[in-house]
Chains A and B, each alone.
Chain A
């Protein structure tokens, strides 16, 4: 079975290393990925502030395109991988609201009809972490590990992978990323910030608020002795890594915390070369700690 892959805008620009490492990892595990053709922006949090139903319309187009392009899995549903937490949460929210709210459904159906599209509800929106842990499985991943990574990892899930919908993990205290990091030889730190909000676009709008939210996460990771953060979302990665100099300036700190995508860390453990994982694109370089070294 092929998974369809919906990159979203971020993975084609600031989140490029996420796309590179995700593709490299899936290819190393021999799980085929096929990009959703002509996908559009999910609208993220900004679009919905202007018009909600049209925002559902954006995701509905992607779902309709996926249903047409993909081949169904055993459960009869096309498996659509959305690595960006905003795309993931909004696609799920769209599915929920069009199935639970008749008014929204009718309006979205009208839009789809005018665009000569149909959506029957036969798409499962999946986060790559879910696919890795529950379809491919941690045992299979362990077998493929060629050079386990050592060191301490602060697993940072962000908000929208578990809220408002937790489809594959514990909402209050997610654990799947910790288990994956353990499987590849790292030691996950125990911390309370795992799904606390980074503020998303606040780092670019009301900067002092955004900086403070990111500072709390980075500082806590540092205090727990983490060698790197592992993140699952391109917006969190961008805020936490690219604004680290601003956060340091605002709080008179010298935090130097790598913020790697979980797929990059997994790729390193699978023995994939740094370049294929986009490691050189990180602002704060991450050097793999060898087990026993």
Chain B
């Protein structure tokens, strides 16, 4: 059972609103305020994942290593998606705290690939800019995405700098000691690594974009 009073929040949490991690939210809505197509829409985006087969057993929530930090447990997210709570689901911390460990996916008795559903929801939230301002995980996803498009590889150094630029510049200081240590042990590349045939990668990704636009 979760305690009804929110646990004390430490401000060290990289600019996260306390309510995002600790407050249990209760949502009441009239049916007319819901999006009746949301469930089908998400199922389609997650390759026809049969989230309507969910029996609400809670195996996903029980097996998830981070469910107790989420504002809605994975089981509740599935119920809310089916019922059309679009805004609440897309603005939830749940979808971002999912670290893709696939434990729920392999344990679900109805073979629902929950990790894919979480990805579909993340993609929707990013497309609609429906995540809390300054929330570091979607910002990291966007910066990572841009970095790979630019060079074909990920560079931890630039990723950290670009994230700090969009969250809080003070975040960089947290990593000073770590950065120094990585540097002295030869585990940090200062030169931005990239692939040679960037044009080939650009054409490939553009081709997929075109195919996606045509499918719309």
Contacts and interface: CB of A to CB of B under 8 A. Distances in A.
B105 interface: yes
12 contacts: A39-B195, A44-B144, A50-B123, A58-B201, A106-B211, A111-B207, A114-B207, A117-B204, A164-B102, A164-B115, A197-B101, A205-B140
A107 B47 CA distance: 14
A116 to B, nearest CB: 7
Q: How large is the interface on A (under 10, 10 to 19, 20 to 34, 35 or more residues)?
A: 35 or more
A75 interface: no
Interface string A94-112: 0001000101101110111
A280 B215 CA distance: 52
Contact of B196 (A38, A44, A245): A38
A197 B21 CA distance: 19
Interface of B: 10, 12-14, 16, 21, 47, 65-66, 69, 96-97, 99-103, 105-106, 113, 115, 119-120, 122-123, 126, 136-138, 140-142, 144-145, 148, 152-156, 160, 177-178, 181-182, 185-189, 193, 195-197, 200-201, 203-212, 215
B66 A208 contact: no
A163 B14 contact: no
A14 B156 contact: yes
Contacts of B65: 196-197, 199, 213
Nearest to A114: B207
Given A47-B148, A206-B136, A14 B207 contact: no
B12 to A, nearest CB: 7
Interface SS, A side: helix
Contacts of B141: 46-47, 49-50
Contacts of A53: 208, 211-212
A202 interface: yes
Contacts of B12: 207-208
User: What is the interface of chain B mostly: helix, strand, loop, or mixed?
Assistant: helix
A26 interface: no
B187 A14 contact: yes
Interface in A161-208: 163-164, 171, 196-197, 199-202, 204-208
Interface in A228-268: 242-243, 245
B178 A242 contact: yes
Contact of B145 (A50, A103, A171): A50
B103 A159 contact: yes
Interface in A1-53: 9, 12-17, 38-41, 43-53
A54 interface: yes
Given A49-B138, A202-B97, A115 B201 contact: yes
A242 B68 CA distance: 25
Contacts of B101: 159-160, 163, 196-197
Contacts of A46: 140-141, 144-145
Given A45-B99, A242-B178, A110 B210 contact: yes
A221 B140 CA distance: 30
B196 A107 contact: no
B14 A9 contact: no
A160 B152 CA distance: 22
A130 B149 CA distance: 32
Nearest to A107: B211
A209 interface: yes
Contacts of A13: 155-156, 182, 187-189, 193
A12 B157 CA distance: 13
Contacts of A41: 148, 152-154
